[in-house]
């Protein structure tokens, strides 16, 4: 994968589908700076599930809108092989054991691991569970699993870092 790359959580795709200014500004600025935007497999599965069986009809519509526009928005889903999927599942379990995310937030750990396995250092998200995770404990969890660390960051914060 290219050097200038960012991984996106499903909630950023929702923000784009909702036409939220900060999400589109983030996308335009970073694409303009030569970054490639990637969507981990679990985030794609979340969007697919929500588009068909999600909570409200509005959520289903937003998920469908997001899926239909991924290519237009310059977002590239990626895949992992079965070995990497097993590593991701183990890491997600460890993240929950450490109470870095709530027990029911299985996908958060998977998305972090998938991003790491793709060697992408930043996960762009507005998910408070991920953004509020203890940074040192998360870093140690990545090191213990022999995975490259991933730092969850809000798109607004990343935009501010450029100014």
Every domain of the chain and the residues it spans = 5-162
**Mean predicted confidence (pLDDT) in 98-127:** 94
**pLDDT score for 2:** 55
**Mean predicted confidence (pLDDT) in 110-138:** 95
Q: Which CATH superfamily is domain 5-162 in?
A: 5'-nuclease (3.40.50.1010)
Q: Which two tokens stand for residue 120?
A: 């992408």
The strand order across the sheet containing 36-39 reads 75-77, 36-39, 5-8, 122-124, 151-153
**Mean predicted confidence (pLDDT) in 138-160:** 96
**Mean predicted confidence (pLDDT) in 31-47:** 97
Instruction: Report the percent of the chain where pLDDT is more than 70.
Output: 99
Residues 106, 110: Cα–Cα separation, whole Å? 7
């Amino acid at each position: 994968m290219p050097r200038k790359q960012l991984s996106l959580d499903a909630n950023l795709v929702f923000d784009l589908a909702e036409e939220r200014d900060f999400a589109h500004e983030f996308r335009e600025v970073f694409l303009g700076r030569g970054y490639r935007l990637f969507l981990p497999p679990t985030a794609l599965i979340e969007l697919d599930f929500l588009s068909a069986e999600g909570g409200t009809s509005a959520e289903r519509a937003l998920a469908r809108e997001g899926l239909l526009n991924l290519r237009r928005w310059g977002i590239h889903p990626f895949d992992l092989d079965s070995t990497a999927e097993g590593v991701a599942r183990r890491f997600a379990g460890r993240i929950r054991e450490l109470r870095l995310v709530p027990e029911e937030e299985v996908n958060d750990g998977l998305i972090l691991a998938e991003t790491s396995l793709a060697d992408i250092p930043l996960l762009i998200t507005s998910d408070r569970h991920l953004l509020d995770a203890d940074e040192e404990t998360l870093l140690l969890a990545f090191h213990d699993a022999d995975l490259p660390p991933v730092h969850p960051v809000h798109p607004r914060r990343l935009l501010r870092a450029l100014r």
